[in-house]
Chains A and B, each alone.
Chain A
Amino acid sequence: AQKVTQAQTEISVVEKEDVTLDCVYETRDTTYYLFWYKQPPSGELVFLIRRNSFDEQNEISGRYSWNFQKSTSSFNFTITASQVVDSAVYFCALSERAAGNKLTFGGGTRVLVKP
């Protein structure tokens, strides 16, 4: 069965600090996809990134970067030079090829960026 664990429930930082969100997943499938979504205070879920299980290259998009390590079943997310607008709940999610396209979400990490 697929499972996603986000051990950090809440992280508080001061603006311009870096923050790293941990995500550990469990799956028996060899083909799977990992996602990060952002849920700002307004409530909508915003897609950030998708990685497939065969692509372990790290990715950087502006102030966001992702580190995918199959050896440790982790897909961590770093926000560099955080800003107040980064305050949100961030969810890591997994979909397995064998289970169709349903997403299994972690519990989420609330990030609070103080000015």
Chain B
Amino acid sequence: DSGVTQTPKHLITATGQRVTLRCSPRSGDLSVYWYQQSLDQGLQFLIQYYNGEERAKGNILERFSAQQFPDLHSELNLSSLELGDSALYFCASSVDQDTAYEQYFGPGTRLTVT
């Protein structure tokens, strides 16, 4: 158990809908990262937050947004869902935002868009 929690574990929804994925980092970790794992694109970095502020953006679609709250939990919002958004979404956390720190991953949320 990495100490990072993600809910829900599974999510099935229809095209055009909007969903929210939730992540709670390990105790003491200030930085949260979101990654998408799909068969087509592999594991891709989406976005990073550090202590409530956005720090880095990767290949995140405009339909997707995220935020980190004062209690450090984070939410990833996916809207106008398409079939291609079906993937495993991971949240990871690290102590700080620097490259020196390893990231610990949550169990992931498997999103299926039908």
Contacts and interface: CB of A to CB of B under 8 A. Distances in A.
B42 interface: yes
A34 B21 CA distance: 28
Interface majority SS (helix, strand, loop, mixed), chain B: strand
A43 interface: yes
B34 to A, nearest CB: 10
Contact of A108 (B31, B42, B94): B42
Interface residues of B, number: 29
B99 A43 contact: no
Contacts of A43: 88, 107-108, 110
A47 B43 CA distance: 15
Nearest to A33: B99
A35 interface: yes
Size category, A interface: 20 to 34
Given A37-B105, A43-B107, A47-B104, A101 B99 contact: yes
Given A100-B56, A102-B48, A108-B42, A95 B107 contact: no
A101 B43 contact: no
A99 B108 CA distance: 24
Contact of B99 (A31, A37, A108): A31
A67 interface: no
Contacts of A104: 45
Contact of B101 (A37, A45, A101, A107): A101
B48 A100 contact: yes
B98 interface: yes
A33 B100 contact: yes
A66 to B, nearest CB: 14
B102 A97 contact: no
A105 interface: yes
Instruction: Across the A-B interface, give the 6 residue pairs with the lowest CB-CB distance, nearest first.
Output: A45-B105, A105-B43, A102-B45, A100-B56, A95-B99, A44-B107
6 contacts: A43-B88, A45-B92, A46-B2, A101-B56, A101-B101, A103-B103
Interface of B: 2, 31, 33, 35, 42-45, 48, 55-56, 58, 88, 90, 92, 94, 97-108, 110
